[in-house]
Amino acid sequence: MVIFVTNISGILFYLLIIALILSLIVGKVAKRESSPQILLIGRDEKTRTYSYIILLCSLILSWIVVWKRFYAALSPQGFDTAAYIYHAELLDLGKYEYVFTTTKVIPYIITYVIYRLCNRSLFLTGILLPFIFASIYTILTYISVNIATKDSLLSSLCALATPLSFFFIRLTYDLFGQTLGISLLILLLALVNRIIEDEIKLGRINARSQVSLIVLVFAILFSHMHTIIFLLPYLFFVTLYISYLIFTTHKKAFGKKAIFGVISFLIIIFWSFIMFHGEIYWLLWKVIPEEFHLFSFSTKYWYWFVRQEIALVWLLSIIGVLFMAVERYEYSHIFLTWFLYIIVVTLITGYVQSYRFLLYIPLGIYSGAGLYYVLRKICLNVQNKKKKIIGAVLINSLVITMFVGVLSKAYIPQYVYYPPEQSIEQLYYIRDTFGFDNKSTLVLVYTGYKGSYWWAYAIIGENIFLGSLEMLLKNRTDIFGRKVEVSDNITLILATHIYGEIPEIVIKHGTQVYRGIYKIQYSVLRNLYHGIPN
């Protein structure tokens, strides 16, 4: 039964791609003008009030979906969660120069604020992080759709659909930088769409809109650098399209502003390369040759993820895409082309983690638009009271079905990377005894440690070596290729639930400082190992 359902999800995803292509081909031709009554739906004061209630319900649903994972396992979850906490601690120590050269500056600052509000509790910060970023994602989805369509009802339904998908679950597990980057990206797409339809085509470009675009691009850049790299090719074509519209529609009046837009785009690219040249170099010469299989058109790296999604979400997305193309084309073609861009990049690159590309699909917007269309057809446009009640029951049934489906997938055991109690006890003992980020000590983390290595960083500091004692003594890099320079006066610390089985030589010549925790001077150990062949 499960296999059948997941296959249905895969089939519906392919149907969604077909619907997307058809909508872009025939959308402009098939689009129809909505009646004044339909255009007023979602824009009157009463509906706006209802939309705020739906938005509040959306937030509550997002919190419940996140809460489910902690109900199953009460500990911070996700591999990268502790990385955000570690960088918050660095900010707390005043190490701004390090944090502000990373690729996730804004998420780290948000984490720092939460960390301080939690009275510097690592555990509580790790619990609260997904709730905060889930809320940001839901709220910015509402704001983005409202900017693009000025329809508060459609906006609230898109916000409602946002947490009701497996995409949302994966993002909020530990991909907080990407979650914020996507949230801001959706806002950027909405603003671009608004500028094209309400300003350029009507002959009134607002300088504030241009500034807002640039600010948003830089906000994405400092939220998740990989998002901006993924966005730049698309943004380049959008810039060309906008320039084309300006030069063909308003040659004299807007020529300078078009040039300003292109120059701004080039400045953003140049600034990105200056700020993150190391990361970009690593991507170009390390990641792409090893993890990209260009033009392979393989589905093995992402199809499994598509099948995890709830079938009803894909079905509503198909309806939503067709609805957006026919009845909201002016305010949705940017979102539709963005979807197509993601699919093309995913297929062409053959990236081994290409499911991360699919996460850029604002699925809540498409499924929310489908929900809106169904609501309008069976409820809002119906005069018969009995039929309205039946329609309302059906809509609620759809939402409940999505909610039950997403709740059943909300906890992913494989993403529980919080170390066992014994490891946590030893990590905190080392922290309490030797201090955080004490450069006169080096803690070895090896096979005895079960959990995300970021928790070792978050609790102990940067003074850790991810590898065996022999690797360190033979002056090798750690298991991630990081070179650690060790001076003679460094104190090595090995613990049973962090390192693993303690070597006999350490037990014999070192000092036991706590149950299963030993320390030994590096110079002493090096001299004892002197005869080991390299």
Encode 463-526 in three state secondary structure.
Answer: CEEECCHHHHHCCCCCCCCCCCCCCCCCEEEEECCCCCCCCHHHHHHCEEEECCEEEEEHHHHH
Answer whether residue 260 is part of any domain.
Answer: yes
The pLDDT of residue 533 is above 60: no
Half-sphere exposure in the Cβ direction for 436 (13 Å, CA): 14
Same domain, 65 and 123: yes
Instruction: State the average pLDDT over residues 528-533.
Output: 59
Same domain, 300 and 319: yes
Same domain, 387 and 475: no
pLDDT in tens, 17-40: 888 888 777 655 455 555 444 444
- Count of domains for the chain: 2
Per-residue pLDDT band at 454 (split at 50, 70, 90)? very high
pLDDT at residue 534 in the model: 39
| Pairwise pLDDT comparison (171 vs 523), residue with the higher score | 171
pLDDT at residue 199 in the model: 61
Answer whether residue 533 is part of any domain.
Answer: no
Same domain, 90 and 158: yes
pLDDT in tens, 509-526: 888 999 899 998 988 888
Same domain, 280 and 135: yes
Best CA proximity match to 506, nearest among 522, 520, 495: 520
Answer whether residue 102 is part of any domain.
Answer: yes
Same domain, 362 and 428: no
Same domain, 437 and 328: no
Answer whether residue 450 is part of any domain.
Answer: yes
pLDDT in tens, 186-208: 999 998 888 877 666 666 667 77
Share of the chain above pLDDT 70, in %: 81
| Pairwise pLDDT comparison (286 vs 373), residue with the higher score | 373
The residues that bridge with 518 in the sheet, in sequence order, are: 494, 512
Last residue of a domain, one of 396, 414, 432: 414
Answer whether residue 505 is part of any domain.
Answer: yes
pTM of the complete model = 0.88
pLDDT at residue 156 in the model: 93
pLDDT at residue 2 in the model: 43
Per-residue pLDDT band at 352 (split at 50, 70, 90)? confident
Same domain, 151 and 10: yes
Per-residue pLDDT band at 254 (split at 50, 70, 90)? low
pLDDT at residue 288 in the model: 64
Best CA proximity match to 165, nearest among 316, 23, 15, 353: 316
Determine the Cα–Cα distance for residues 455 and 498; give it in Å rounded to an integer.
Answer: 11
- Greatest alpha-carbon span in the chain: 92
Instruction: State the average pLDDT over residues 157-172.
Output: 95
Same domain, 342 and 440: no
Per-residue pLDDT band at 484 (split at 50, 70, 90)? confident
pLDDT at residue 265 in the model: 62
pLDDT at residue 67 in the model: 96
Same domain, 326 and 430: no
Q: Cβ–Cβ contacts within 10 Å for residue 184, how many?
A: 27
Per-residue pLDDT band at 290 (split at 50, 70, 90)? low
The lowest-confidence range among 23-32, 139-148, 292-301 is 23-32
pLDDT in tens, 398-407: 999 999 999 9
Q: How far is CA 60 from the centre of its chain?
A: 20
Per-residue pLDDT band at 176 (split at 50, 70, 90)? very high
Last residue of a domain, one of 395, 414, 433: 414
pLDDT in tens, 335-349: 888 989 999 888 888
Per-residue pLDDT band at 1 (split at 50, 70, 90)? very low
| Pairwise pLDDT comparison (428 vs 231), residue with the higher score | 428
Q: 174: domain range? A: 2-414
Same domain, 173 and 281: yes
Answer whether residue 36 is part of any domain.
Answer: yes
Instruction: State the average pLDDT over residues 174-195.
Output: 92
Answer whether residue 25 is part of any domain.
Answer: yes
Exposure class string for 261-281: b at 16+ Cβ within 10 A, else e:
beeebeebeeebeebbeebee
Last residue of a domain, one of 397, 414, 431: 414
Same domain, 40 and 125: yes
The mean pLDDT value of the chain amounts to: 83
Q: Is 417 exposed, middle or buried (CB count within 10 Å of its CB: 0-12, 13-18, 19+)?
A: buried
pLDDT in tens, 354-401: 888 899 999 999 999 999 988 888 776 666 677 677 777 888 889 999
Share of the chain above pLDDT 90, in %: 40
Instruction: State the average pLDDT over residues 493-504.
Output: 91
Which residues does 233 contact at the CB level (< 8 Å), separation at least 6?
341, 345
The lowest-confidence range among 190-199, 272-281, 295-304, 470-479 is 272-281
pLDDT at residue 4 in the model: 42
Answer whether residue 222 is part of any domain.
Answer: yes
